[in-house]
Structure 1
Amino acid sequence: MAEYPPRGCGPCPYKAGFQKGKDSGDYLEANTVPKPEVLYQSHTKLNDQKLGVPTADVAPDLKKPPTEGTGNEPQRDQRELKECKNCALGEPSSAPKAPEPQAEGAKQPLKGILKKETPQKPEMSASEGKGESSPPSESQQQPENSTEPCYFPQPQDKVPDQSVKEEMGPVGPWATGRVDWGPMAGFTGTRPVVDRYSITRYSEGEWRAHNQDMLNMSALEQHKANLIDFDGRKCLEEKKANVDKNQEDSTNRLRQRLQEMQRWKCELESSIAAAAEEISLLDEERARLKKAKAILQMPISIASECLDIRTTRLDSELVRDEVEVELMKELALTVEIEETFTRTLKDIEHQLLEDKTAKNRLECDWTDKKEANELEAINIALNNKSNILMFKAGSTRFPEEQSSRESWEKFTKETLVEAEATRQRSITLRGTLDAILINAARDLRAQADKVEMCLSKRIDCIDNLRVQLEDELKKILQKLANVEGLVNDLRALVRRMDVPMKKAQTRLDNRNHRPRVENCRDEAQFGLVAEVKSIGENVSAILGQLRTAEESQASLIKARSDLEREIMLKRKTLEIDRTRIQTIRSFYPSATALMGN
């Protein structure tokens, strides 16, 4: 607190001044004014300590005459004072001389509440009880250049005012009456002096004490403010450092978590790539098996046709020869291989479903980790200057559906292990399928060679018609492939129409949130509604074309089946007419075709 410079206003006219007593009576007994007992006077004020003692809780020592300094602690006066061995100690002593009266007449009567007291046994005054060992005199007055400013409490404020004994005159401060100042002045009916010049309520001692209280209060509040400022700044620095450390720790933990997710993400990517490759290989094997199974229908048809044709021969030709036996063996072999192919195809389709399921689980887990990875990357990139920071109500919680770290890692490991086991089963099944195809092709080809040895002469009968029917079948298959492509394109177009529809509906929904009169049905609103309607009509038209294409596809499939059946019927008829069994056998598939290659 900034100290105020001492101000001097000259010698104070109300400063206490006493004359040396002339009689030998006891000075304390003769001059002490009885002090009324007031409860609130017992409270110790700031910088209002008892003289001669270190604290206000210890009784003063009257044998040590100190003087009050400018600080809170009492200072010992360097002047030599005579010890008062008898004053206020109950010891007999020679009474000092009483002070000379200042006016003629008897002793002035007491004023105010003091007139009710009988000074039979004088009490020690406040100034005398705080260490004054001898009655003050003019030679012992405080010098004018005292260390205490004039607006602070002075030592004479604790000494009874001797001016109360002055005689009232026709003019002066006591012209309208005398008032004895005291702390109880406002409660005992004593009123301040009022004349036509001024009105007074407090004494100079009370005014200086009030000044001291105000300055002490200001110093105390400034001290409290300094403490609050220090504590606040210290708390600010500590909490700021704590927040920064927590943010850095959270960022490091997020980075570590991101690295761990990236590691598992790479593992999933490798497993997904392996699963996709295995699915592709198994799908190729399935297509190969289907092709082999489809090709297997030709040997069955050929053998059946040959047997049927041979049943239509003339009676003389109805003999059980070597060709008939070999044809029956071939038919039985092809039927057995077909059943094997059917069982294997079911196993492959089941295994392919398992592979796709495992791959979907891997992809789902990878997608979740990718999304979580992106979110963690966003969280790591956030800083205190990011413009997307905001309060998120309800985010500081642990959702019930959250997984633990152990369950999260266990789930990923189980997914990887299961996918690897599924892939190994698929590899084993592919090896088994390859062996089945090779053995089947070898057996069929060997049996066909035996049959063809007997039917070598039946080759040229059905070439022209077979070629024409197969050409038509190829065209149907080509058209079927084209129609399938058209169906896929139409379905993709229908799906792509969702984006414009979502866009138009989103615009309409956003415009519906316009406030009050701004929610206007303007040209843009009509345009958006028309756009939604147009998109819907387009989708309906596309769906109509899609249904037409699907119907055409079904018709082409039926036409393909009909053509294949017609080829077999034509072959049977031609063989019946021209005995073309060898011609049919000439189109027996090769070993490579029988393996589905």
Structure 2
Amino acid sequence: MSSQLVSPLQHDDGTGTQTRYSGSITGVGTAGYRSAKYTPADWFHNNQSVLTRTASDRTAAQRIHRDSTALRAETEATMSRQQSHGTRLLGERLVDIHSQKSELERHLARLHAETELLCAAKRRLEKALNATEVPFMISTDNLSCRERRFGPDLVQDRVEEELVKELDLIRNVQALLKETLDQTVQQIRLNREAQQVLELDWSDKHEAYGLDDRCGRYRNTSTDTRHHAASATAQQQSCDPDGWASHTRGNLSRAEREEDASAALFRLCERVLRETAEDLRAQSNSVDEAFIQRCHGVQHTKRELELQLTQVLEQISVQERNVAALQQSVHDKEAPLRVVQSRLHQRDQRPNMELCRDPVQISLLDEADQLSSCVGALQEQLDEARASLVRLEESRTLLERNIECKTHSLLIDRHKCMKQRTHYPGQESLSGY
């Protein structure tokens, strides 16, 4: 009994094709010695395929090795070139940052110096403004004191005009000092704001300089480098170099404007302090000169009045004696007048033809007329002397009143006002020192 077995086999020759083998085994007796195997052609073909594949793989490996070697060299050169370029750019960036930092430091120093000068000017303005309170008080008190003059001395003289001018000048100076002080405070605030902006910009650049300097020191052999894949993308919120430079230029321009404004304001403060102090002192000298002239005039008038009073008093004394003498003379004429009148009265009683106008009668009549005339003249002179005495007394009263008025005026002007004006601030105090 015989049987036939067909066994399909697939063999991969390495090229991706599969070969189908088939064979038939007939008979049980050959089953242990024969099986499905490659044919010699298949064997040869398989060897050729292996050789071809091996040669192809080796060629591909050589090509890949060459390409890898060239790529390694190229990437190494590119990496070295890019790293050198980046390091050079970092160095240039450090130079730019250092230049900007130096410029910021220079303007910061200038701003600080200008601010210190303005602060000193501000303190001087405040001192000068406070110093004007003393002249204001002195002028006001002088005017108030001089209102207590009385009589003809309550006059609007040159002293009062100069005091009013001084008071107006002090008010104007105070207004100017306050305005200048407000400008100085405002400029100091602007300077500090600009200084704060510069300090912030300088701080940012200082930090950026340190970071870029650290980046420039990184080498391939550095042990403190790490992978930061997310940082390799461009930052959308970052500015371009032109914007960076423009930002700093804007800050520097603002600082320069404030520096120029500060310098101009400082010169203005110096001029205002100098000119106001000079004006106040000049007006004070004018007031003092007016006081001196006024006191000299009043003193001279007072001496003349006192001299006149002395003369009037002497004349009053003389006139009083004259009145007394006239009264005595009138009194002395009463007895002779009584005698002559008595004689005439008695002779008027003569009888008849004895009542004649004899020489005696004529002499008595002449004597009576002369005595009456003398008494009348003496009485008239006495009345005139008494009137003169009354006028002299009035003059004495007027002179005494005027002397008292002049004495009071001198007391006010010389011993009150001028003494008070010795406390007038000096040039340095009014200049804020």
- TM over 0.5, yes or no? yes
Alignment pair present for 1:590 and 2:403: no
Residue 408 of structure 2 corresponds to none
**Between the two proteins, what is the percent identity of the paired residues?**
28
Alignment pair present for 1:341 and 2:177: yes
**Distance in 2 of aligned mates of 1:349 and 1:579:** 43
**Distance in 1 of aligned mates of 2:39 and 2:253:** 99
CA contact (8 A) 1:358 1:418 kept: yes
CA contact (8 A) 1:262 1:373 kept: yes
The 5 Å alignment of 1:394-543 reads 394-453=230-289
**Distance in 1 of aligned mates of 2:88 and 2:30:** 81
Q: From the superposition, tell whether residues 294 and 191 of structure 1 become closer, same or farther in structure 2 (CA, over 3 Å).
A: farther
**Distance in 2 of aligned mates of 1:590 and 1:222:** 109
Higher relative CO (CA 8 A, sep ≥ 6), structure 1 or 2?
Answer: 2
1:390 is paired with a residue whose SS is coil
CA contact (8 A) 1:348 1:429 kept: yes
The Cα shift of 1:345 comes to 1.4
Deviations 1:445-501 (A, max 9, x none): 122223345668xxxxxxxxxxxxxxxxxxxxxxxxxxxxxxxxxxxxxxxxxxxxx
Deviations 1:69-114 (A, max 9, x none): xxxxxxxxxxxxxxxxxxxxxxxxxxxxxxxxxxxxxxxxxxxxxx
2:201 is paired with a residue whose SS is helix
Residue 332 of structure 2 corresponds to none
Q: From the superposition, tell whether residues 191 and 440 of structure 1 become closer, same or farther in structure 2 (CA, over 3 Å).
A: farther
Tell me the TM-score normalised to structure 2 length. Answer: 0.61
Alignment pair present for 1:261 and 2:97: yes
Q: From the superposition, tell whether residues 405 and 345 of structure 1 become closer, same or farther in structure 2 (CA, over 3 Å).
A: same
Residue 348 of structure 2 corresponds to none
Q: From the superposition, tell whether residues 299 and 393 of structure 1 become closer, same or farther in structure 2 (CA, over 3 Å).
A: farther
Of Structure 1 and Structure 2, the greater helix share is in 2
What is the root-mean-square deviation in Å for CA atoms of aligned residues? 3.2
2:423 is paired with a residue whose SS is coil
The Cα shift of 1:590 comes to 0.8
Q: Which amino acid aligns with 2:43?
A: W
CA contact (8 A) 2:187 2:262 kept: yes
Larger CA deviation: 291-300 vs 378-387: 378-387
Residue 334 of structure 2 corresponds to none
Residue 92 of structure 1 corresponds to none
Residue 218 of structure 1 corresponds to 54
The Cα shift of 1:314 comes to 6.4
1:384 is paired with a residue whose SS is coil
Q: Any stretches of 5+ residues in structure 1 without a counterpart?
A: 1-42, 46-182, 457-574
**Distance in 2 of aligned mates of 1:283 and 1:411:** 29
Residue 118 of structure 2 corresponds to 282
CA contact (8 A) 1:296 1:338 kept: yes
Q: From the superposition, tell whether residues 214 and 418 of structure 1 become closer, same or farther in structure 2 (CA, over 3 Å).
A: same
The Cα shift of 1:265 comes to 1.7
Residue 362 of structure 2 corresponds to none
Q: Which amino acid aligns with 1:414?
A: G
CA contact (8 A) 1:295 1:594 kept: yes
The Cα shift of 1:221 comes to 2.4
Deviations 1:398-426 (A, max 9, x none): 43432222222222223222322222222
Deviations 1:150-175 (A, max 9, x none): xxxxxxxxxxxxxxxxxxxxxxxxxx
The Cα shift of 1:199 comes to 4.2
Q: Which amino acid aligns with 1:421?
A: R
Alignment pair present for 1:329 and 2:168: no
**Distance in 2 of aligned mates of 1:373 and 1:409:** 15
Alignment pair present for 1:379 and 2:218: no
Alignment pair present for 1:388 and 2:216: no
Q: From the superposition, tell whether residues 204 and 191 of structure 1 become closer, same or farther in structure 2 (CA, over 3 Å).
A: farther
The 5 Å alignment of 1:151-170 reads none
The Cα shift of 1:252 comes to 0.9
CA contact (8 A) 1:309 1:579 kept: no
Q: Which amino acid aligns with 1:357?
A: E
The alignment covers a number of residue pairs equal to 297
The Cα shift of 1:433 comes to 2.1
CA contact (8 A) 2:23 2:36 kept: no
Deviations 1:244-284 (A, max 9, x none): 21111111111111111211221222122112111111221
Q: Which amino acid aligns with 1:289?
A: L
**Distance in 2 of aligned mates of 1:306 and 1:401:** 72
CA contact (8 A) 1:194 1:200 kept: no
CA contact (8 A) 2:136 2:170 kept: yes
**Distance in 1 of aligned mates of 2:114 and 2:255:** 11
Q: Which amino acid aligns with 2:193?
A: T
